[in-house]
Amino acid sequence: MVIIIIVHCKNNHMKLKLLVSSGFNTLDIQQPSPNESKRTRNTNSHSKFQHLPVLTTDGCTAAAQIERKKNNELCFKCEKVDSPYDEEFVNMMESIRDKNPFSLLTCGKRNCKTKFHFSCLLKAGLLPHWFPQYHLLDTSNVLLCPDHFCATCFSEYFQHTATEGKLMKMKSHHRAFHAKCLPITKSNPGSVERTREENENWRAELDIPVREEYTGSHFPICVGCAREDASEDLIKCKTCCHSFHPTCHKTKMENSEENKTICEDCLYDFQIRRTDKVFVQLRDDFWTAAQIVDFRTEAGKKTELKVKFFSDPEQLTWVPRFSVCHVYPILAPGLYDTLKKFYSRRTDCVDYKSEIGQREMTAMSSMLKSIYEFRPNVVRPPPSNFRKRYLLDESFKDTIVKNRRMESTTIKWESHEFLEIKPSGDRGYGVFATKQIPKNTTVGEYVGTLISQKELNRRKALRGLARNRETKYYLYKTQVEDGNREIDVFIDSANHQNEMSIINHSCRPNCVAEKDPYGICKDVVLKRIFIKTTQAIEEGKELFLNYNWENFECLCDTPECISSRGELDWSLKVALEKENITSHPGKP
């Protein structure tokens, strides 16, 4: 799910910023430097796709995991020089100013030799919500092959985190994982710790269990929406314990007609972590909260997992690998609410109101709450490479500048010398004063990419399709005066930014955003945004702005907080009002 807050704001300006992606813990394996982990090729062959309209395909097709080939001169997906999908996109590609927009591209990660066609990347379906146009905009700024995304983090909607940290690549297939996200294998290889030199090109021998026909019990709730739907029967997956609504299943399987008999996790061959929290059917059709602690594959048998139970940590048991139900973090609150109602009505399993039933439901609440609050154990480096001039998007040039000569786009106010970027609790990073900053001090100018309303709409559409839980959306609405016209434009600082875009929101701010007209070319005046303190800010204190959002989740916890954030109900109480069971379009 992508959590994008789209708001109407006061004072004729708007700022959107995602807060849920913060709160990452410290990584306890060897971590490359920020510069090393971000090494990418600076190539114009990728940037030509930056401004294409949103390209959608005829449904999403999950490709089988793609094996590594010895010939790196062909597309890793289609294994050809010319893509079989080019004709599907030929009309859309006409806007690209390039003699051959369908030529083979090299992966944007430095030293990676993998080649692909842009159209093959669009059609590949390598991971859930795989949307290369979005990656080009927000995640990496270049086109990358799947070797540079942690498959598990990406599938759980942590798409920015998926590109961070050291990734362990599979030797046999184009697939990678963080060390903390390594999947269950047929044998336990033990430690993955290696020297820095060994890690540079290490590809893991991961013998992942093959999915076969599953004959056990199925989880009683749809894994795609975590809701009940009286109008739709659940389909039981043929290769694991998952159940799903037909309308929640949006994916096709490449070279197969059994699309609606296998869940999306199985189609994409989603891999759970070796310590994931899962549901296991323990007794009387009651699914119990558990955590994986070990795994094995005995001779002639299928892979098994050793799990311990939240309701009784001393109780351990072995269960088949594909008999455990994985829960996506974003679905955890809704699933708990559904399960409370589901088990309160059942008479053929553990009594919901009995001592055992209440203990199991308490354990379920604890597990689902921890799953919902989960963040991948990967350090995200602080923002850096701050800019001192605006970047003009093609849409801004075409709409505003046209053929007029540009004046300087260098900022008028550089960021104050007494500022530093540091972690700010659940907010991620924030801006702090290193020495006292007096009241009414201009601490900097809000810098970003100047875009038009049309380009804003395109970017919002891309971010929505990608469903990234960590979507970066830093935006100020301002205006340009062009003769007698006033036109709304936007400063997008998701990637082109300075310290001002890192300032967090508070309902008790100590800074304010103001506008100042500044000529950028003949007859065109841009109302620039600058940030000024409204009170003296003491050394070590954080700077805050009031974003003037409506209907958003605020993390400031001040007495003045006007957040509409609703507290999630992790109690055992079942709502008494009449249930309204409706369908749901799929995973958020």
Of 221, 228, 375, 350, nearest to 283 by C-alpha is: 350
Instruction: Please state, in angstroms and rounded to a whole number, the distance separating the CA atoms of residues 475 and 478.
Output: 10
Least confident of 20-29, 50-59, 388-397: 20-29
Q: What is the mean pLDDT of residues 37-56?
A: 69
Q: What angle do CA 565, 567, 570 make, to 5 degrees?
A: 155
Q: How confident is the model at residue 83 (pLDDT cuts 50, 70, 90)?
A: confident
Residue with tokens 């006033």, as numbered in its chain: 486
Instruction: Please state, in angstroms and rounded to a whole number, the distance separating the CA atoms of residues 225 and 171.
Output: 34
Instruction: Please state, in angstroms and rounded to a whole number, the distance separating the CA atoms of residues 22 and 36.
Output: 22
DSSP 399: I
Q: What is the mean pLDDT of residues 527-549?
A: 93
Residue with tokens 């001002």, as numbered in its chain: 500
Q: Indicate the CATH number for domain 235-372.
A: 2.30.30.140
Instruction: Judge whether 306 and 295 are in contact, CB under 8 Å.
Output: yes
Instruction: Judge whether 120 and 75 are in contact, CB under 8 Å.
Output: yes
Cβ atoms within 10 Å, residue 437: 22
* 195-225 confidence digits (pLDDT tens): 444 444 456 677 888 889 999 999 999 999 9
For residue 125, what pLDDT is reported? 82
For residue 279, what pLDDT is reported? 98
Domain 391-545, CATH class in plain words: mainly beta
The pTM (predicted TM-score) of the whole model is 0.82
For residue 220, what pLDDT is reported? 94
Instruction: Please state, in angstroms and rounded to a whole number, the distance separating the CA atoms of residues 357 and 368.
Output: 16
For residue 479, what pLDDT is reported? 95
Residue 234 has pLDDT above 60, yes or no: yes
Cβ atoms within 10 Å, residue 62: 23
Domain ranges of the chain: 25-204, 235-372, 391-545
Least confident of 256-265, 357-366, 372-381, 438-447: 256-265
* 295-314 confidence digits (pLDDT tens): 999 887 889 999 999 999 99
For residue 97, what pLDDT is reported? 58
Strands 286-296 and 304-309: antiparallel
* 379-428 confidence digits (pLDDT tens): 878 888 888 888 888 889 888 888 888 777 777 788 999 999 999 987 88
Residue 550 has pLDDT above 70, yes or no: no
Q: How confident is the model at residue 260 (pLDDT cuts 50, 70, 90)?
A: confident
Instruction: Please state, in angstroms and rounded to a whole number, the distance separating the CA atoms of residues 563 and 274.
Output: 37
Q: How confident is the model at residue 116 (pLDDT cuts 50, 70, 90)?
A: very high
* 159-185 confidence digits (pLDDT tens): 999 999 889 888 889 999 998 999 998
Question: What is the rounded average pLDDT for all residues in the chain?
Answer: 81
* 569-578 confidence digits (pLDDT tens): 888 776 443 3
Residues 6+ apart with CB under 8 A from 151: 127, 162, 175, 176, 177, 181, 270, 271
Instruction: Name the phi and psi angles at 302, rounded to 5.
Output: -85, 160
